[in-house]
Structure 1
Amino acid sequence: MTTSPIKSPLGPAERDATGAVLQAALVDLIDLSLIAKQAHWNVVGRQFRDVHLQLDELVAAARNYTDQVAERASAIGVSPDGRVATVAETSGVPAFPDGWKKDTDVIGAIVTTLDTLIQRMRARIDATDKTDLVTQDLFIEITGKLEEAHWMWQAQLA
């Protein structure tokens, strides 16, 4: 289908600009959920249980916001693309290594991942300042949640 069956409440330029940042956020959040699950399955060490459970909380938050971002894109007439190939090709989230990982190494990797994602989300907040304040509000909410998670993960390394 070449045209959207959804009439956008935004003008074409605003829709396209907002849709692009929503798509970028979508793939980053999908990747975050996959990375956190990979870490969840492979963490070992003294803090195993706490880290294991905290990773599930991160996965749940990422999946929740993934759905909200995809549905916002749909609401403005942009078809969201969460296919694995799209995520693999376009995510800006750092890769997570394979194999068993020591709990402190997992914590450090998650802190780095969240830091990267927060910076990318803050850029999206700026990018939607003039195109769509509703989407900007969603990005502000997501960034607040990611920053809270970032703080809690960092606290484990203190």
Structure 2
Amino acid sequence: MTTMHTATGFRASVRLSAHLQRILIDLITLQLNAKQTHWNLVGRNFRDLHLQLDEIVDLARESADTVAERMRAVHAIPDGRPTTVAADTDLPQLPPGEQNTSTIVDLMTDQLYRTAGALRTVHDEVDAEDPTTADLLHQIIGGIEKQAWMLGSESRSV
């Protein structure tokens, strides 16, 4: 249950803390996976995709920081240690080595939609407990879904 203390302000429940930790893990994983694909990309449209992957890295990094700082503001403890991220991520591991641009588009579009899906899964429960935190999640969902649409359009045809 959510509690409000006069001296310390709003305090996240265990459930809210767990939801935010889940999102933090996926955002850190998304950032790392986008950078991995950025380094190992080859093929057609290399430069544009290389630059777009950096945009995704920046979005994921800034979003992870926003979530972690919100966790601290509501007295939750973020855990972004590599062992925690590796053990708890819901995102699939990417293949090693160089990958063709079309493969990267498909893999990273999937990663973006999975991350947005995780955000949407916890959103209503977060909103019920803390609308302020839910507003932050709204912004993150919008940014991630925009990147998923833009990246996924690379492999679409009419």
- After TM superposition, the score normalised by the length of structure 2 is 0.91
Cα deviation for residue 47 of structure 1 reads 1.1
1:15 Cα offset (Å)? 2.4
Deviation per residue, 1:63-122 (Å, 9 max, x gap):
001110000000010111000000001011121111000000000001111111111110
Asked if the contact 1:18–1:135 (Cα under 8 Å) also holds between the matched residues in 2, the reply is no
Cross-structure match for 1:129: 127
8 Å CA contact 1:15–1:77 kept in 2: the answer is no
List, as ranges, runs of 4+ consecutive aligned residues in structure 1 with deviation greater than 2 Å. Answer: none
In the alignment, is residue 37 of structure 1 matched against residue 38 of structure 2? no
Matched pairs, number:
150
Name the residue aligned to 1:99: 97
How large is the RMSD of aligned CA atoms in angstroms? 1.3
How far apart, in 2, do the equivalents of 1:94 and 1:43 lie? Answer: 18
Deviations 1:5-53 (A, max 9, x none): x93513xxx5222111111111100000000000000000011111111
Q: Map Cα deviations across residues 104-156 of structure 1 (whole Å, 9 max, x no partner).
A: 00000011111111111101212212111111111111001111011101111
2: CA distance between counterparts of 1:129 and 1:84? 29
- 1:147 matches 2:139: no
1:87 is matched with which residue: 85, 88, 93?
85
**Is 1:119 matched up with 2:120?**
no
CA distance in 1, matches of 2:112, 2:81: 22
- Code of the aligned partner of 1:28: D
CA contact (8 A) 1:43 1:100 kept: yes
Q: Are positions 1:69 and 2:67 aligned together?
A: yes
Give TM-score scaled by structure 1 length: 0.91
Query: Partners of 1:90 and 1:156 in 2: how far apart?
Result: 30
Q: Is the 8 A contact 1:111 1:150 kept in 2?
A: yes
Q: Percent identity?
A: 39
Gaps of 5+ in 1: 1-5
